[in-house]
Amino acid sequence: MSELYKNPANTADERASDLLSRMTLEQKAAQMIQIAYSDIPREESLLWAERGAGSFLHVLGDNARELQNIALSSRLGIPILFGIDAIHGHGLHHGATIFPSQLATACSWDPGIAEEIGRITALEVAADGLHWTFSPVLCLARDTRWGRTGETFGEDPYLTGVLGASMIRGYQGDDLRADDRILACAKHYIGYGEATGARDSYDTEMTFRKMREVFLPPFQKAVEAGCASIMTAYGSIDGTPFTSSETSLKTILKDELGFEGFVVTDWKNVESLVVNQYVAADLYDANRMAVSAGNDLIMNTPSCYEHIIQLVNDGRLDIRIVDDAVRRVLRIKFLAGLFEKPEKKGDPDIFGCPKHLDSALRAARGSIVLLENRGDTLPFSGKIRSIAVIGSNADDIKAQYGDWTYFSHPYPSDIRPAPPFHTVLSGIKELAGPLGIEVQYSRGCDVMDVNDADIEAAAAVAAGCDAVVLVVGDVYDQVGEGKDRADLALSGAQQALFDRLISLGKPITTVLVASKPLCVTDISKKTGALLAAFNGGQYGGLAVAEVLFGQFNPSGKLPISFPRHSGQLPVYYNHLPGWHRGQYCDVSADPLYTFGYGLSYTSFEYSELQVDPDELTVSVTVKNTGVRAGSEVVQVYFRDMVSSVITPVKQLIAFEKLSLEPGEEKTAVFKLNRSDLSLVNTEEKRVTEPGVFMVMVGGDSRDEWLLKAELVLNG
């Protein structure tokens, strides 16, 4: 019998079916296993390569080549799929380009930036010989106490879907076989960020109708973008873990959305069914549930190999389910060209190359959001001859990078010199030097330890300078998986440091270097200027300095709302109506800064909103009424005025970034579809109901800043 699967002239489906017919049960079970190289001894990894493990993660360079050579020398020669957590750049590789976090990237509201980050990350991951990244994160961060908030694109499903699909296209391109492209993995499916109380991996208080309406749309865009893989979430829906939810994985994802890639579990998700969620008595039962539900590749539970074999032999697991899982994994391997080119062949000199660093700087510029600017505190005037930079996060690159970098997740790698980076302090020094401006620095206090502070020393430095830049925020110990917070107030002595500095009577610029929105209500009322820089990557500090000195006009808009108080959470713009009185008795119901908000060094005026119900078009004129060139994100929202189910008070359905010279005006035109105005009804069907819709257009989501017009849809 000819080996059809070895002929690249055949389709991926034909090759996968042929190869599957030649495999033993043991080989099929092995293809469903992903081994964490960093979690077991090297000798054990070699045995897994001989056995035919389908995938490894967190292995680089010669170690990966050694495993691949073993796999290729087997009877069928099935190549290993190597994966890595390249979340905002190939950040686990010392020397790679570190981009802004997803949350920081989302502040740009620029799909082009998201795609470019994906493209360059793919180049650097491929240069390491690897095939696959566990990115992008399509979870929605609606309760910002969640430790993984910074890994998301924010709180909105539409913006998340647009940016996520763009990043997928950047990773994968038009041809998965190309040496400079890698496989994407949309995660975590689904509703991970909706865990009750922002408790990581916990149960979600949502129904399948809510899942379909709010959390599914980004994944639908990922499927439409051709995403090769999707990762399941840790949590559960209505008491059923997502890992064992056949409704979620088979009925919705694979059958309804038509997802043709493979589903991979998250880290030890199958084992979690036994030891954390207690829905399975043992790993036999857990594997039966997980594989039957639609998981195709099991991450880091190696014992699943024996359990899958035994379950099939005992008649407890249908071999057709196993075959479907293995076929999906093999199909992607064929599409990616692994059988012809098992190792990506990139240029090792591209890590942190000038072209990639330029992209990191452009991405960092887009990530900065100007939240306050009283009395034109910024940009700095020519009268300033000395600047005091205060705060430990002003010179902490580890805090600026955030999660998923070689600082936060160190493991053996090909060590190269780290690429150049700029903290806020070094960025300010870089720009101040040629201007003859003196820069003095004082740490002030630790971000976490309230007793580690020398506030008076910081005040003395600030008192002797013309301008003060205070950098506050969080650090890695407060960021990431399993690091949820109950209180989002500034930690350590940071608030006390601000209070002392503001007492000096000088205008203060406060910069937030953090993984998420923190509760900075008091600072927002008193500071001269306030910048949200989040985790801006290796050039985040230089981008901040460019904004401070007026070399760059900020255009970032928030992809997520800032709470006034931790007890106000969750607070997001697209909430449901119906709250009795619509207020807390002790704090405003509105967020401190809402979704879509962001200032500029210029001003914009909106006029001439027009809605055509026949063509389903929306147009608006935007004019730059200031004296500087600037960019404005035009945002289109809608509200279904009367509907069969409760719908949000407003929902984003379109946006466009316009660049305008002083006095220039442009008309933005948006072409809508009826589906843009849809809802999920009580039968869990997405429909567009006839009736009256309110269309709202403006520079952020605040009602008072939006132009409004009615749109009537007939049946």
Which residues are known catalytic residues? 266
CB-based contacts of 451, cutoff 8 Å, min separation 6 = none
Instruction: Specify the pairing of strand 33-36 against strand 55-57.
Output: parallel
Secondary structure element (H or E) that encloses residue 196, with its range: none
Secondary structure element (H or E) that encloses residue 389, with its range: strand 386-390
Q: CA 98, CA 116: separation in Å to the nearest integer? A: 13
Count other Cβ atoms within 10 Å, centred on residue 299: 23
Of 670, 674, 697, the residue nearest 609 (C-alpha): 697
* Helix, coil or strand: residue 592: coil
Q: CA 38, CA 57: separation in Å to the nearest integer? A: 8
CB-based contacts of 50, cutoff 8 Å, min separation 6 = 70, 74
Of 668, 667, 665, the residue nearest 626 (C-alpha): 665
Q: CA 180, CA 158: separation in Å to the nearest integer? A: 28
Q: CA 285, CA 254: separation in Å to the nearest integer? A: 23
Report which DSSP code applies to 380: P
9, burial (CB in 10 Å: exposed 0-12, middle 13-18, buried 19+): exposed
CA separation, residue 258 to residues 163, 250, 328 (Å):
21, 10, 13
Secondary structure element (H or E) that encloses residue 622, with its range: strand 617-624
Report which DSSP code applies to 243: G
Residue 229: beta bridge partners? Answer: 185, 262
* Helix, coil or strand: residue 150: helix
